[in-house]
Amino acid sequence: MSLATRSLLRASLPVAAGYLSLGFTFGLMFSELGGTTLEAFVISVLCFAGAAQFLALTSYSAGFNPWTLLLSLVILNFRHIFYTLNLWPAIKELRSRFYLVAALTDENFASWNLHRKMLSKAQYPVMFGLNHFYWIAGCTLGSLVPSQLLAGLKGIDFALTALFLVLLLGQLRTLSGAKS
Amino acid sequence: MMSATEKIIFILILIAGTQVTRFAPLVSPNIIQSVPPQAQRRLSLVIAIFLVGYCYRDVASTPEYLLRLGAGVMVILLELLFSRTLLSIFGATLCYMLAVRVMG
């Protein structure tokens, strides 16, 4: 294993811890609502958005309103627009540019921002792909847990509220940091 | 129980609602770049407040509302004290799960 690959793996460990545990929680909650492993896998591959996936769980029932869900998702994901604006100038010549935009989560944007000086541009898709893999593994494994075990997990849905509270505190910190 | 069609629509909306915001700047970069950075930050804050409000929208109608409020305070305290996202999320969630089990 090359030094660059090793340092990339080491740099991705904090994201791995977050994505595996949060993804696992998503998978658990999704299967509790009647979602299948295949659905969890497809969503984690093609959507790949932590907060949005959790928010969508509140609509995962018969007779859901698709327009309400779509509007909520667009409002929630609005910040991604600014991530793309920042990232695009650095990746617009790469062959993997559309994948990088499609996989632009909060964590991938933060990782790119933090490590871009030590990484070559060719390593961007590797870093994004590695983090994407952690998320897919977490969501898929979580959805495989037998439903009998879920009875003891009452209240796990609070993880969603906790996630949003942490997000709110982060925004307040950013805003107060920008003012001072 | 959701029908197969509903499940497919659900997944397609989930993908579209996420990817449209990621690819929007490639379609109309000038409009979005004209938003001042300060306004961008404020907008993100409003979105975060909206999300928390969304989670607590029916809090008064559930029997565990005091526990949810308490667990929310715990998230804030843990985050302010340690600034460790996972500790804040899972520490408070674990305590909430235990409290629900003991009280229920």
Q: Give the pLDDT confidence of A41-89 residue by residue, as tens digits.
A: 999 999 999 889 998 998 898 888 999 999 999 988 888 888 888 888 8
Please indicate whether, in this complex, the C-beta atoms of B88 and A162 are within 8 angstroms of each other.
yes
* Mean pLDDT per 10-residue interval, chain B, length 104 residues: 91 95 84 68 74 76 83 95 87 91 81
Of B2, B32, B72, the CB nearest to A34: B2
| Statement: residue A115 has pLDDT above 80 | no
Of B21, B23, B33, the CB nearest to A78: B21
**Separation in Å, CA of B91 to nearest CA in chain A:** 10
% pLDDT > 70, chain A: 93
Q: What pTM was computed for the model?
A: 0.76
Long-range contacts of the stretch B79-86 (C-beta < 8 A, 24+): B79/A165, B79/A166, B79/A169, B80/A169, B85/A18, B85/A166, B86/A17, B86/A18, B86/A21
Please indicate whether, in this complex, the C-beta atoms of A155 and B16 are within 8 angstroms of each other.
no
pLDDT on residue A172: 86
Among chain B residues, the shortest Cα distance to A79 is held by: B44
Q: Give the pLDDT confidence of A17-30 residue by residue, as tens digits.
A: 778 888 998 999 89
Of A62, A72, A76, the CB nearest to B6: A62
pLDDT on residue B2: 87
For chain A, count helices (H), then strands (E).
11, 0
Mark which residues 52-91 of B lie under 8 Å from A by CB: 52, 54-56, 64, 68, 71-72, 75-76, 79-80, 85-86, 88-90
Please indicate whether, in this complex, the C-beta atoms of A22 and B89 are within 8 angstroms of each other.
yes
The number of residues in chain B equals: 104
**Would you place residue A12 in the very low, low, confident or very high pLDDT band (cuts 50, 70, 90)?**
confident
Residues of B in contact with A51 (CB under 8 A): 51
- Reference A109, options A71, A81, A70, A74; nearest CA is A81
| Statement: residue A180 has pLDDT above 60 | no
- Reference B79, options A169, A65, A32; nearest CA is A169
**Separation in Å, CA of B104 to nearest CA in chain A:** 10
pLDDT on residue A3: 67
Per the CB < 8 A criterion, the answer to whether B4 and A39 are in contact is no
Of B24, B55, B96, the CB nearest to A81: B24
**Separation in Å, CA of A11 to nearest CA in chain B:** 17
